Amino acid sequence: MLIFMRNSASESDVNRVVERLDEFNLNADVLRNGTAAMIYVKDDSVEVPSLSAFNGIERIVHTEARYKLASRNHKPEDTIIEVGDRRIGGGNFCVMAGPCAVESVELGLEIASLLKSENLALMRGGAFKPRTSPYSFQGLEYEGLDILVEIRKQTGVLVVTEAIDVNSVGRVEKIADAIQVGSRNMQNFSLLKRLGKTSKPILLKRGMSATIEELLLAAEYIISGGNENVILCERGIRTFGNFARNTLDLSIIPAVKEKSHLPIIVDPSHATGKRNFISSMSKAALAAGADGLLIEVHTNPELSLSDGGQSLNPDEFKSLMVEIRKLASVMNVNVN
Ligand code: PEP
Ligand code: MN
């Protein structure tokens, strides 16, 4: 950490900061350039509350990230997350697909057989739906979880489904192979803390206005709670662009790879809101180094209870998989 003191800061201002740092066992070196002073603290891992409130401080620059366990410094090699027999990260590209919401056993069985015909295993589908409007379909909730159990039992597919609050985590964790945290809940800290206590992998979606630091700190909540199995997901952010539902921020992929060992996948459905953008953005995500995709697929998007406009139909999904496999083979990436 570097603390830049104002030119006008007095000797006693500098001393008071150094003493405060000392209370936290932080060794400070005071560097001087004429009248200006700068205080250097090598250990940036200890948080000194309200340090900027001290008189004479111009600005504080952190030289280390506030997330630790999620950082590349902590773990240089890529983390590979296993969901059942599937792998995400470290050269393994995992395609997860399914309806926005769990609607019926029949729909789930059709999607499961589509996935199996593509040698894929992870089906997405929300039983609890965090909808912007209280008048929109809220999901089948506990009945939706029962439907997922039935589909899993009949087909052997693995299920990824969302937990929207602490109350329902217990039931979700019993049946899910991976638990999704939605964009709107990325900073629901009590939920993140609770998910630190489960052994199930967590699919953590980036908040629609979250910085990379906020995303990695959200992951840090889960990891520091005891669960190292976190998969990040870029799902588009809010910008002034109005031709798509959100702006897919693909540049976060190389940025995350630099800063963190965690895998990151891309959700082109929520990122674009448009079914005819999904194929190009999926290929772009793979080319940019993403570790997988989360795609909405419905047997009949026109009749979907939510997000049909951003859901591929089975034929479109199959065509996309042909292209994904071609690109993956050039990139020497294992699709699973
Ligand atoms: C979802 O994937 O079901 C979803 C609601 O997406 P998001 O949280 O990214 O809006
Ligand atoms: Mn959706």
Q: What is the pLDDT along the chain (336 residues), one digit of tens a residue?
A: 999 999 999 999 999 999 999 999 999 999 998 888 999 999 888 899 999 999 999 999 998 899 999 999 999 999 999 999 999 999 999 999 999 999 999 999 999 999 999 999 999 999 999 999 999 999 999 999 999 999 999 999 999 999 999 999 999 999 999 999 999 999 999 999 999 999 999 999 999 999 999 999 999 999 999 999 999 999 999 999 999 999 999 999 999 999 999 999 999 999 999 999 999 999 999 999 999 999 999 999 999 999 999 999 999 999 999 999 999 999 999 999
Helix (H) or strand (E) holding 159: strand 158-162
Q: What whole-number distance in Å separates Cα of residue 79 and Cα of residue 258?
A: 13
All structural domains of the chain with their residue ranges: 2-61, 81-335
Architecture of domain 2-61: 2-Layer Sandwich (3.30)
Look at residue 29 and give its three-state secondary structure.
strand
pTM of the model: 0.95
Centroid of chain to Cα 272:
17
CATH topology of domain 81-335: TIM Barrel (3.20.20)
List, as ranges, residues with CB under 5 A of the ion ligand 2. 100, 307
For tokens 């795609």, name the residue.
295
Name every protein residue with a CB atom under 6 angstroms from any ligand 1 atom: 100, 126, 130, 162, 182-184, 205, 235, 267, 270
Residue 315: predicted pLDDT? 98
Q: Give residue 292's identity as a one-letter amino acid code.
A: G
pLDDT at 199: 96
- Ligand 1 center to residue 263 CA distance, Å? 18
C-alpha 59, offset from chain centre: 30
Note the pLDDT of residue 214. Answer: 98
From the CA of 205, give the closest atom in ligand 1: 9
Protein residue closest via CA to atom 5 of ligand 1: 182
Query: Ligand 1 mean position to 228 CA, how many Å?
Result: 22
Ligand 2 centre from 131 Cα, in Å?
9
Other beta carbons within 10 Å of 171:
16
DSSP for 207-266, please give it: PTT--HHHHHHHHHHHHHTT---EEEEE--B--S--SSSSB--TTHHHHHHHHBSS-EEE
Q: Which one of 96, 100, 232 would you pick to mutate in the ligand 1 pocket, going by the greatest count of ligand atoms within 8 A of its CB? A: 100
